[in-house]
Amino acid sequence: MFKAYILSGSNLDQPLDQLQEAKERIAARCGKILAASEIYASPPWGYTEQPDFLNQALVVETILAPEALMQSLLQIEQDMGRIRARHMGPRRIDLDLLLVDQLTCDTPLLLLPHPR
């Protein structure tokens, strides 16, 4: 078992609903959610001409190895309609894998711990 830390964010299409849906999909597909932060607002950075984000951090207990977990998160984003039209642009859902236990990873798919 691994303990993974995931940050979810949304600033399009009812962001609160998007975060809830992502949380449900993560629980169904990736593992048991052990803890969830309060939902908080944050301003965009990089491309700032967009709405503020709503964010929530999750702690998930999973049997998925880090790269398999990242693939699952990317599939959830795609299933929820994420479109990658602009780097750092507005998005329906963004799922970042921040940490997995004390593991490090540096592959084209995944960098752990997350650099930002």
Burial class (CB in 10 A: 0-12, 13-18, 19+), 113: middle
| 25 is annotated as an active-site residue | no
Q: For residue 66, with 0-12 CB atoms within 10 Å meaning exposed, 13-18 middle and 19 or more buried, which class applies?
A: buried
Give the active site residue among 13, 25, 79, 82: 82
Q: Which residues contact 63 (CB under 8 A, 6 or more apart)?
A: 1, 2, 31
Kindly name the residue from 13, 79, 94, 106 that is annotated as catalytic: 94
Residue with tokens 């979810």: 8
Is residue 116 flagged as an active site residue? no
Please tell me which residue in 17, 79, 86, 96 is annotated as part of the active site. Answer: 96
User: Residue type at 35?
Assistant: A
Catalytic member of 13, 17, 79, 91: 91
Active centre residues (catalytic): 82, 91, 94, 96
